[in-house]
Structure 1
Amino acid sequence: MRSWLLSCVLLLLSWGANSQSRSQATTRILLIPLDERPPCLQYPVQMGKIGDVEVVAPPRHLLGRFTEVGQSDEIIRWLRAQSLSRFDAAIISVDMLAYGGLVGSRIHGVPAQKALDRVQIVRELRRKAPGLKIYGSSVIMRLAPTADGKNEGYREKLARWAEVSPDTNLRDQTRQLEQAIPSAALADYKQARLRNLQVNQFAIGLAREKVFDYLIVSQDDAKPRGVHIRDRENLTNTVKQANLTAQVAIQPGADEVSMLLLARAMTDRYNYHPRIKAIYSSETAAHTVMPFEDRPLRQTVSFHLNAVGAREVNDPGEADLLYYVFASRFDAGSARQFADQIIRSPDKGIIIADVDPKGDVQGGDIPFTEALKEASVFARTYGYACWNTAGNTIGTALPHGILAGVSRVVAQSKPAAAPRMNQAQVWFMLNRLLDDYTYHSLVRPEANKRCRASQWNPNRLTAEQTRTIEAYCLTELQPIATRTAAGFFPKTSGQRCTITNLRFDLPWDRTFEAEIDFDLKLTK
C-alpha cells in the first residue's frame, strides 16, 4: 500500500513538473534510455533543449546503476501511466525494457520469453497512440562481457574466443580458450547472445508492423571479425527480405543512439534534411577501421548521416553543413593543418568530430582543440564531440549539429524560443569542451595516476575512493572551466558567458565516464 501511494505521489509530482515546462517547450519527447549514464540520459535531455524539446524520461532510480540493472517492469508501469497525447514522439530502448539496460543485455539474467513479453509494451503504446511517432533502438551484443570484478580471470579470454571461434583455421586456439574459460560463463555468454538475437529480430518485426516508425539496430563495441558478424548478417538479411531498409538501420554504436534518434525525430518533425559534406583529415583515416568498430570510418559517418535524416553530398558548395572529421592526431603537423582548415571554413554551419584513432586516449587531441579554442571556433560550431569510440564521437557531434540547425527553423516560427535555445546550445558546447576534452584529455590521465599511486583500481573505486577522486577532478576542472567560458566568444562579439556552480560526478564509481553539470549565464 505504501509503495502504491509513493508511486502516485511521484507521478503527480512528475506531471506537475512536466505541465509547468510544457508551456514553454515547442516539442515533448518521451525517452526510455539505454541506461542512466550521461550519453544515454543527460546528453539527450540537454541536447533536446537546443531544439526547444522537453525530453521526459522515467525517474532515474528506475534506470539502474552499472551492474545493478534497471527496473524494467517498473519502467513499463511508468510508461502505462503516461498521457501519450501530451507527447509528440517517443524514443524507446528495447534493451532497457527487455533486460534493464546495456550491461543487463550482456548476461543471461532475463530469459528470452520474459524479455520478449516486456517489449510487447511498445505494441500497447502504438494501440493507445496511433499517431505517435515511435523511434526504437536495439543493440547487437558486443564481443567482451562487462568487467564486473568477478570475471577478471577469463574476461579477455572470452572476448578473444568470441573473436576467433568462427574462424575454422583457428580451431586449436578456440579449443584452448574454451578450456581456459569456466564452462558456466561460456554457456551464459552463448545464451545471452542467442536471446539478444531473438530480441533484435522481434524489434525488426515491430518495424515491419509499423509499431516502430524507425529503428536503429546498433552494433556495440566490436571488431572486423567475430561471432557478432553472423548475428549482424542474419539481421541484415531479415531487413532486406522485408524491404525495410528505409525503416531499419543496422550500424555501429550503442551509447549515442538515443541522440541519433532525437535528431531523426526532429528532422522528421520539421522536414529539415540538411545537405552535409563530410570532410576528413586524410583519405587514409577515412578508409581505416577505427578501434572498437567493424567497418571503415567513412562508412560509420555515412550510416550516422542517414540515421539522422540528413543528405550526404560530395560537393562542399552544395552543403548546408560541413562535417569535419579529424582522425589523424598522430600524424605530424595534421592537427594544426586541419584546425586551420576549419578556422578558414566558409560561412556555413560546421560540425567537428575529433576521433581517437588508437583507442587508448578516449578524449580530444590537445594541439587540435587548443588551436580551435584560441580562434573561438566553438562559438560558431553547430556540433562537437571527442569522446570514446569513433561511433560515440560521430554520433554525438552530428545530432548536436542537427539540433542546432533545427533551432534556426524553430526560431523562425517561434522567435520567443530563440534565447533559451541559444542558452542550451552554449551550455551543451561548453559541456563537451569540459567533459569530452578537458576531463578525458587533461584531468582523467592525472586522476588515473593518482589512483594507481594509491594502488586503487580506476575502473572499480570504492565509495570513499570515488569521493576523493571526484573532489580532485572538480578542483582541477574549476579554473579551466572558468577560462574556457571566458574565452568562448570572440572578444569582438560583445558576448560573454560565465560558469557557476560546477558539479562533477563519477556515476559508475570509475574514471571511465563523468557527469558534469553547471549553471550558465550569458550576457551581451
Structure 2
Amino acid sequence: MKIGFLPLDTRPCTYDMPVQLARQARAEILLPPQGIMAHYKDESDTAALTVWLEQIASECDALVVSVEQLLYGGLIQSRQTLVGLEERMKRLQVLSRIKRKNPEIVIYLSNVLMRTSISTLDSETLVWWEKINNYSKLYYREKAKNDVDAAQKCRLLEQEIPADVLNTFFTARSINHAINRASIQLVADGIVEELFILQEDCAPEGVQRFEQEVLEKDIEQLGVSERVSMFNGTDEAGAELLQRAICPEGSELEIVWLGKQHDFVAKYEDRPFYENLEGHMKALSLREKKGAQSVLFVLTPKQNQREASFPRAEAKTDYTREELDLFSRKIEEHAKEGRHCYLLDLDFTNGGNSEMLACLAQVMPISELWGYSAWNTASNSLGTLLAQVLASKDGNDEKNQAFTAERILDDALYQELVRSAVKNRIEAEGEDIYNIHDISRTEQYLKEEFEVISPLLKTIFGKKIPSFEVKLRWPRLFEVAVFTDLGGGPVYGEKIACCS
C-alpha cells in the first residue's frame, strides 16, 4: 500500500514515529521533499505542499493529511493570525481537486481544536501562557455559569494580558473553528473518508467547550458521526490515521487496568480518560474483548497525575514497590501465556515511571514487552500505543522491539530523569529552555546525563542495552530525537525523491 503523508510538523513524535510504525506494517510512505516543511517557529511552504500533494495523489492509495500543516504551515503557526480565513479556505480546496481527479483515493484528515492557551516559544510567552490558560477557565465560568466572581477576575486579567496577545488568541480560535466546520462538511460531501478532530491541551472548564458544542451539532445534523471522531489528543493523530488506512479492519484488544482510578481526568484533558480510550479505540476499529491475543495494560495515577520531570519531595512514585511488583507480575503472567503485552504508562504526564519499568525488568525481559508509551499527554501516549498495537500484529520483530526501546529511552528515561538534569545545567549558563542557542553543548549534556543513569539502563535492558543517539530536533528541551541503531535511525533527513 502506498500512502502520501503530510505530517503535523517535523517533531519526531509527529514525523518519524508515524512513519516508523507504518513501515513496520509494510506500507510505503511518501513524504514531502526536504526543505518544504519548516522547523519550530518558521512556517512551511504551504504552496509547495499543495503542489506536492496534487503531484503524488495519482500514485497513492490513500492520503493522510494534517490540516495544520496544509493550511498554516505547522501546529504552532495555526495559533497565529498571519493569514486570514479566506486564504485558509482556498488552501483547503486542494482536497476537493484531488478527489475529483482521483476518485478512488481515500483521504484521511486530522484537524486540531485549538488549545486553551497560546504557544510557549520562550520564557516571556510562558508568562502569558499561564495567564491565558487561567483566563480561558474563568471565561467559560463567566459565560456558561454566569459566575460573577469569574467575571471580575476576567476583567482583571484583561488589564494584565496585552490586548494583541488576547486578540490573536481569540481570532486564531475563530479561524480554527471555521476550518473544523469546513472539514466536517468535506466528510459529508464525500471528499474526506474520515476526520479526526483532536482537542489540544485544555481543562474540563475552558473556551473549547463552546466550540465543541457547535461541532457536535454539525456532526449530528450532517449524519457523519461514524466518520468523524472528536477526542483529546493531537500529536498522535498521524500515527493513528496511517494505521487506519493500512488496517481498516482493526483488531481485538483486552484492557487490563493497573490501578483503581479508571475515571481519572488526565492533566491537560477535559474528560475522563476512559472516554478517550473508548473514542480512540472506536476510531481505529479496535474492539475490546476479554482473552484477546493483544493486551493493553493501563497504569493509572494513584492520586492526581503530576509532571514526570518536576522535582518530587516525597517518594519518586505514589505507588509502593509492592504495588509495582504486583503490576509487573500481572503483565508477566499474560506474557507467559503468549499474549502480546503493551504498557500504557499514565502514572505521570509528560513522561513515564522508570520505577515501574525497573520492577517489570526483574520478572521478564523488557524485550518481551510488545509496546510502551508514556509521552506528553495521556491521549498522546494512548494513540501512539494503539497505533503500535496495529503495526505489530504480525509479531514482535526487531523493528518493533527497537521502537519500544526508543519509547522507553525517550518517554520514561529522558522525560523523567534526563530532561530536568539538562534543564538545570543550561539554565545555570543563561540558556532559555524554549529557545536554546548552543545546540551542540546541550546535546553533549544530553549524552552525559544518559551516562549518569547507565545503572538504570542496565537494570531495565539487562545485557541488551540498545545503541542509541539523542539529538535536539527543535531548539528546546520539551522533546528530543532518540533513535536506536536497530530501529534504523531517524526518518527526518532521509533523501526523498522529488516529484517528476
State the TM-score, normalizing by the size of structure 2. Answer: 0.87
Structure 1 counterpart of 2:478: 512
Structure 2 counterpart of 1:437: 412
Matched position secondary structure for 2:2: strand
TM superposition shift of 1:161:
1.2
Matched position secondary structure for 2:119: coil
Matched position secondary structure for 2:370: strand
Match of 1:112 among 85, 90, 104: 85
- CA distance in 1 between counterparts of 2:208 and 2:191 reads 26
Match of 2:21 among 44, 47, 70: 47
Q: Could you list the runs of 5+ residues in structure 1 that have no partner in the other structure? A: 1-26, 409-420, 492-496
Structure 1 counterpart of 2:397: 422
Higher helix share: 1
* Aligned amino acid, residue 134 of structure 2: R
Alignment partner of 1:469 is 2:442: yes
* Aligned amino acid, residue 342 of structure 1: I
Structure 1 counterpart of 2:181: 201
Matched position secondary structure for 1:61: coil
TM superposition shift of 1:337:
2.0
- CA distance in 1 between counterparts of 2:442 and 2:410 reads 15
Alignment partner of 1:221 is 2:221: no
Match of 2:323 among 328, 334, 345: 334
* Aligned amino acid, residue 130 of structure 2: E
* Aligned amino acid, residue 127 of structure 1: R
- CA distance in 2 between counterparts of 1:79 and 1:428 reads 28
What is the percentage of aligned positions where both structures have the same residue?
27
* Aligned amino acid, residue 226 of structure 1: G
- CA distance in 2 between counterparts of 1:56 and 1:136 reads 16
Per mean C-alpha deviation after superposition, the further-off stretch among 441-450 and 164-173 is 441-450
- Structure-2 change in CA distance of 1:256 and 1:480 (3 Å): same
Structure 1 counterpart of 2:267: 291
- Write the mapping of 1:257-336 to structure 2, written as runs, cut at 5 A: 257-268=237-248, 271=249, 273-284=250-261, 286-313=262-289, 316-317=290-291, 319-328=292-301, 329-332=317-320, 333-336=322-325
- CA distance in 2 between counterparts of 1:196 and 1:322 reads 37
State the TM-score, normalizing by the size of structure 1. Answer: 0.83
TM superposition shift of 1:172:
0.5
- CA distance in 2 between counterparts of 1:450 and 1:483 reads 21
Checking the alignment, whether the CA contact within 8 Å between 2:117 and 2:169 is kept in structure 1 is no
CA-to-aligned-CA distance 1:115-172 (integer Å, 9 cap, x gap): 1111111112212221122111010000110012353453321221122112121110
Per mean C-alpha deviation after superposition, the further-off stretch among 444-453 and 247-256 is 444-453
CA-to-aligned-CA distance 1:375-394 (integer Å, 9 cap, x gap): 44542333221111101111
Alignment partner of 1:449 is 2:437: no
Structure 1 counterpart of 2:496: none
Checking the alignment, whether the CA contact within 8 Å between 1:356 and 1:388 is kept in structure 2 is no
Matched position secondary structure for 2:483: strand
TM superposition shift of 1:58:
0.8
- CA distance in 2 between counterparts of 1:205 and 1:378 reads 46
- CA distance in 2 between counterparts of 1:159 and 1:487 reads 38
Alignment partner of 1:389 is 2:377: yes
- CA distance in 1 between counterparts of 2:222 and 2:4 reads 28
- Write the mapping of 1:87-126 to structure 2, written as runs, cut at 5 A: 87-126=60-99
Checking the alignment, whether the CA contact within 8 Å between 2:402 and 2:487 is kept in structure 1 is no
- CA distance in 2 between counterparts of 1:482 and 1:267 reads 40
Structure 1 counterpart of 2:305: none
Structure 2 counterpart of 1:3: none
* Aligned amino acid, residue 310 of structure 1: L
- Structure-2 change in CA distance of 1:121 and 1:521 (3 Å): closer
Which 4+ runs in 1 deviate beyond 6 A?
Answer: 478-483
Matched position secondary structure for 1:384: strand
- Structure-2 change in CA distance of 1:152 and 1:485 (3 Å): closer
CA-to-aligned-CA distance 1:203-262 (integer Å, 9 cap, x gap): 111111121111100100010011001111111111111121110001110001111112
Structure 2 counterpart of 1:161: 135
Structure 2 counterpart of 1:15: none
Alignment partner of 1:68 is 2:12: no
- Structure-2 change in CA distance of 1:299 and 1:108 (3 Å): same
Checking the alignment, whether the CA contact within 8 Å between 2:343 and 2:373 is kept in structure 1 is yes
TM superposition shift of 1:521:
8.7
TM superposition shift of 1:41:
0.3
TM superposition shift of 1:469:
1.5
Matched position secondary structure for 2:485: strand
TM superposition shift of 1:485:
9.1
* Aligned amino acid, residue 232 of structure 1: Q
TM superposition shift of 1:518:
3.2
Structure 2 counterpart of 1:353: 344
Structure 2 counterpart of 1:33: 7
* Matched length: 463
Match of 1:138 among 84, 97, 111: 111
- Structure-2 change in CA distance of 1:427 and 1:266 (3 Å): same
CA-to-aligned-CA distance 1:366-419 (integer Å, 9 cap, x gap): 2101122344454233322111110111111111111101x35xxxxxxxxxxx
CA-to-aligned-CA distance 1:10-67 (integer Å, 9 cap, x gap): xxxxxxxxxxxxxxxxx22211111110111010111112111222211343222111
* Aligned amino acid, residue 482 of structure 2: I
Structure 1 counterpart of 2:32: 58
Matched position secondary structure for 2:371: strand
- CA distance in 2 between counterparts of 1:483 and 1:445 reads 16
* Aligned amino acid, residue 426 of structure 1: Q
TM superposition shift of 1:498:
7.4
